[in-house]
Each structure stands twice: as structure tokens, then as C-alpha cells.
Amino acid sequence: MSFYGGGIEQRMKGDGANMAFDNMYTTYVQLKPGADAKKLEREFPAFIEKYAGKDLREAGFWRKDFLLPVADIHLHADMMEMTAGGNPTYLYILGSVALFILLLACINFMNLSTARSQRRCAEVGVRKVLGAQKSNLVGGFLGESTLMAFIAWIVGIGIVILVLPFFERLAGGSLPVSFSYALKAVACFAVLAVLTGLVAGSYPAFYLSSFNPVAVLKGRWTSSWGVLSLRKGLVIFQFVISVTLIIITLVISDQLRFLQKADLGFAKDQQVVIPLQSAQARGLYRALKTEWARDGRILSVGAGSYYPGIVNASDDNFHRQGQPVNAGQRLRINHVDEDFLKTLGMRMVAGRMFDFDHIATDTLRHVIINEEAVQKVGFASPQAALGQKLISTYKGETNEDEIIGVVRDFHYESFHAPITPFVFYLNNKSSYHYAIIHTADVPVSGVITALGNVWHRLDPGEPFTYSLLDDDFQKNYEGDKRLSGIINGFTLIAILISCLGLFGLTSFSTQQRMKEIGIRKVLGARVSMLVVLLSKSFLRLVFVALVIAMPVAYWIMQRWLNEFSARMSVGWQVFVVTAGAVMGIAFVTISVQVVRAALANPVRVLKNE
């Protein structure tokens, strides 16, 4: 079982085990060999009805228990776990990007193979005249492409071994690989290499083997319009992928910068979090607070069962007076001291905060809620909620809590999650689990040293640990940062592959047009005119790719941004920068070959012709 915030022993001793309300525990069950998990799961509804049905109906909500394989917890557990879970969406994104990168390489091979087909047409014609069947030619060409893919697989294994430490740093964790797993991975990628070779070589193989030997040997063979159109289509597809990845990279980077500056609804800077991990530390909180508050660099000290950025496991079902129990809404609960909200800089929109002047009454069923809770429960406005009662039921006992204040909405969790409805109770028993210290705008390191000195003087038997609230909150975006870093690498690879393909096609195209270039130069064409003439056909393909990729990338990014409760808008600047960068890169790639061809001596070119 797992529990956030500590205190499981006290809760179990005080309240006993309760099937209806103890929702913060995760139970692990080891089934007997051969047991049917689905069959066991079908018995859960009757089990819940027997042991919790009455309490659940009185409280106005229901629960559903289910089984989840331990291996699926990391990616698929919508439950409380002590370790951060993964995001299967990100795995699908990275897998798709890797697949597209592989597809780009296959397209390059197909494009260059068909572009150079004139150099092999005589070979095909001779082979056919000598009796080679089409199946023999297809098999030979597929064998060539498969052999190249297999060599690439061997080189790729070496590259993986070399870059694995770098990837581990990028991914934020080590990747222990056992011998058996490595063997399976190598075998799987060997199969992938063979499939890649077959896919990449299939079209060139069937295309080259279809030549008419008579036409080829007489020199009458030319590329068909369909082949040229396919080649252009493949170039466009390559740059569609590259442009899409560039836009994705820019938007993710902008969103992460936006999140660092976005208003959370509370002050996260200059906040030091100190866990109160033991009963002794929690009992010393008042003394620690008094001593810490004497430091002029400390603005405020507060404490609570939870703090923003970590999982809050406490909740209950609340409804207004005059409503039935089953109309209740699930609100998160945090038990705090009188200075917790002030320390975090939360702003009141109605009513007041907890304070010492009212501490006797505030401790007795007075609560503060946020604007989202006002809306969820159904009050007309924050002002209308003041003085009203929130009603909940626990073990058959009805509790009524008077609302004395409403705070502005805040993002308790990361921006991946919607704003959560909250209820704050004043806890005057010093059983908090975290102390929050808001410091002035001074170097935090010196304040932390002073906090540690006070801790060691009052509680010398326990280690002093701390974290910074801003750092804790930013940990929620580590997955997004890793995704951004990995996609950045993939984007560079995609651009490189696309440019290599474009470079090869430009080289071949200019070689085919050398006679034309020579004649134009003899007739007075300048180098700049030739560069524009030869470049515009390829740049036109890149432009078409931009037109196709931009709406696709916009749609993908809007889907991704919708996962955040606060998000930036995708502005036109992203598309302008992307278009300029892609057109510039493509032009430089093309110009390298075009300029060299344009500078060639026309006399030598025409003499060779």
C-alpha cells in the first residue's frame, strides 16, 4: 500500500479500515499461478456492495475496484503511486517520429536509385538479352538494397553503443540492458533492417527490371512522366516531415518557456519546502516556526498536509444545503495552519483567511474554498458562498462546514491537469507534513543554511532536508523537456536526411542538364540567372511541402497544447521562421551543386557532349 503525506498508522488506528473512504491506499495482490484475473475482477462489485455499499450510498458516491498488472502501472495507472508515471502518448509520438525518420531514409534510397536509373539501364538491357528473367533482376536489386540495409544495421549498432551514455543523460535515467534483452533487441532490429531493405528497394527493383531491352540498347529509353512525378512527390513528402518536425520543435520549446513564466495563482519563487517526516518533527513545528520567523530574511512560514506540485490524496464528497447527497462534488482537501495561504501568496476574492483572532472558531468546521469549488458545488458567486455550508457524510455522520473565504483559483498540479476544486481546513494540532518558508528576494542559499542551523539545534537527531517549490513544480514538466530534447535530435536528423536526398537529386539533375547550362552560358546567361533557373524547380517542391505541412503541424500541436490548462497560442511567427529556415536550408543545399555546374567551362561541357 502507498500513502501520501505520512500518517497512515494514526489514520488506521483512529478510524479503522473503511472500504468507502480509504481511497488513498493502493493494494497489491499476488495471484496464484494460472488464476484468471478477469474472473476475479468480476467478483469485485459484489464485494464492494457487501463491505462498503451502505457507507458509499450515505456519502453520495460510488467506487469501482479493478486489477492492473504491475508491468502496466508506469504507463497506465491513473492512481496514486510514489514514483512519477510515464505518458504513453509520448511513446507513440517518439515511435512515430522514429518511423518517419526510417521512412525518409527509404525515400532517399528510392529517389536516388530511380534518378540514377539511366546509368543502369544498359546493364538491365544486356542481362535481359542474355536471358535474365524479371524475377532474377528483381531479386538481384532487392538483394543489393537488403545488403546495404544490413550493413547500415551493423554500423547502427556501433553508433548506438557510442551514443547510449548521451541518450541516457537526455532521457534522464539509466538504461540497464541485460544480455538476453540485448540479444532480442539486436535480433528484432536485424529483422527491421531486412524489412527496410526490402521496402526501400522494392520500387527501384521493379522499376529497373521493367526496362525494354531493345529500347534501352538503342538509346531510346527515357524516364516516364509518372516516374518523375513520383520522384517529386517523394521529395515533397520528405520535406513535409521535416517541416512538421521543425514546427513541433518550436512550439514545444515556446510552450515550455511559457509554462515557466505563467501565473500559477500563487507565489512559487523564493519558497523553501521542508518535509516534516516524523512525529517528532511535526511536534516541533511550532517551535521551529517561531525560531525561523525571527530571521529578517523570512517573510512568512506556513505548513500543510500537502503543497502545490505534489499529489494531494485527500478528498471528500461535498454538497450544498437543500441538495441530495448524490448531488455532491469531489473536492480536494488540505489541512493547513493559519499562515499557509498567506505564505503561498494566494489571493482572496471574497471573505477572509484563517487568523489568530478567529482561531478558536476557525478550527471548528470553518473552511476556505477556491473559485473552482464555488462553481462545482453550485454557488452563484464567491460572495454568495460566504456563510453557506458545505455538507459531507463520513461513516453515517453528517458534517457541516461553514465557508468563511474564497481564494482565487490556482494550479495545484502541473498545467497538464485542470484547475482542481479545493477545500482548506485549519489544522491546529501541528500534524502537518510540510513546512513552507517564503523568503525575501535574497540569495536562498544563505537562508537555507540558517533554517538548517535552527533545525539541528531543535531536532539534532533527524537530518535536515529541503527543496525549492519552483524546482518541485518544474519536475512536472521533465517529461515534456525530455520529449523536446529528443524531438530536437530527430528534427536535425530529418533535416539532414532530406537535404542529403535533395543534394543527390540536384547533383544528378544538374549533370543531366550540363549541355543546356553550357549553351545558356555561351548565349550570355549569368551565373545568378542559371542558379535561379535551376533552383526554382526544387524550391517549388519545398514550397508545396510547406503548404501541406503547416496545417498538419498546426493540428498536431493544437491537440498537444489542449493537454495543458494554460497554453500559448501558436502564432504566425512560428510558421514564418520555419518557412524561412527550410527555404534557406534547401536553397543552400541546392546552390552548392548548381553554382558548381554554372561555373563550369561551357566549351569543355559542349565539347564532351
Residues 6+ apart with CB under 8 A from 375: 421
Question: 53 pLDDT band (50/70/90 cuts)?
Answer: confident
Core vs surface per residue 491-510: b (16+ CB within 10 A) or e: bebbbebbbbbbbbbbbbbb
* Cell digits of residue 536: 526554382
Residue 508 has what pLDDT?
A: 67
Give start and end residues of each alpha helix (H) in 328-381: 340-343, 359-362, 371-377
* Cell digits of residue 455: 533545525
What are the pLDDT digits (tens) for 451-502?
999 999 998 888 999 999 888 887 777 777 777 777 778 788 888 877 777 7
What are the pLDDT digits (tens) for 403-444?
999 999 888 877 777 888 999 998 877 678 999 999 998 888
What are the pLDDT digits (tens) for 73-110?
777 665 554 455 666 777 777 777 788 888 878 877 77
**DSSP 8-state code for residue 69:** -
Residue 8 has what pLDDT?
A: 46
What are the pLDDT digits (tens) for 353-401?
888 777 777 777 889 999 999 999 889 899 999 989 888 877 667 888 8
Q: Which amino acid is at 141?
A: F
507 phi/psi in degrees, rounded to 5: -60, -45
Beta bridge partners of 392: 399
What are the pLDDT digits (tens) for 172-197?
666 676 677 778 888 888 888 888 88
The model carries a pTM of 0.67
Q: Which residue has the higher pLDDT, 39 or 133?
A: 39
CB 546 within 8 A of CB 243: yes
User: What is the residue-wise DSSP string for 304-319?
Assistant: ES--TTS----EEEEE
Show the beta-strand stretches assigned E in 355-476. Answer: 366-370, 389-394, 397-407, 422-426, 434-439, 467-468
Question: 342 pLDDT band (50/70/90 cuts)?
Answer: very high
Core vs surface per residue 160-177: b (16+ CB within 10 A) or e: eeeeeeeeeeeeeeeeee
What are the pLDDT digits (tens) for 237-249?
888 888 888 888 8
What's the chain's length in residues?
609
Residues 6+ apart with CB under 8 A from 73: 79, 81, 85
- CA-to-CA distance for 462 and 83, rounded, in angstroms? 24
- CA-to-CA distance for 97 and 563, rounded, in angstroms? 20
Residue 461 has what pLDDT?
A: 85
